[in-house]
Each structure stands twice: as C-alpha cells, then as structure tokens.
Amino acid sequence: MVRKQVYIEQRQERVLKRLAEERGISEARLIREGIDGLLRGGTVRDLDRSAWEQERRFIARRERSSRVGTCRRWTRDELYER
C-alpha cells in the first residue's frame, strides 16, 4: 500500500466517518472501495449500500408492526367491474 494525504471537505469527513462506522470498516478501506468503484465506471452513489440497508430495516419494521391490508373491508376483485 502507498500512503496518501488528501484534503476533503467537512461534510465529506462526516459522511466518511458515518459510512465507515455503519459498514464496520476503516475510512481508508472505504476510500479505496470508492476509488475502485470509480475505476469500474461506477459512481459514488453506487457504493452507498447504507441506503439499501436502511430501506431493508424499514421494510422489516413495517412488516412486523403493521397490519397492512387487515383493516379493509373489500376484496381486490370487488374493485373491477364485471
């Protein structure tokens, strides 16, 4: 490995720390993965797996705590004219 020193904006520092913590990896590894993603033709957004993880947790919570569909008094077939 080669040591590099770079300057980033404060907002980038906050995001870098948060993403590294959420994924349980070092900030350096996250930066390397970001560079690799860009070299493969991806974008930084492609690497933001935390958004998908948040969505997965939301759906799981919703499935556990919600009674979606149990309050209606109609069936799907009743929506269509015969």
Domain boundaries, the chain: 10-67
Handedness of CA 36, 39, 44, 45 (dihedral sign): negative
pTM of the entire predicted model: 0.50
Cβ atoms of 25 and 12 within 8 Å: the answer is no
C-alpha separations of 17 from 29, 67, 79, 80, 81 in Å: 12, 37, 50, 52, 56
For the chain, 82 residues long, give each residue's pLDDT as a single digit of tens. 999 999 999 999 999 999 999 999 999 999 999 898 888 886 655 556 778 888 889 988 888 876 655 677 777 788 887 6
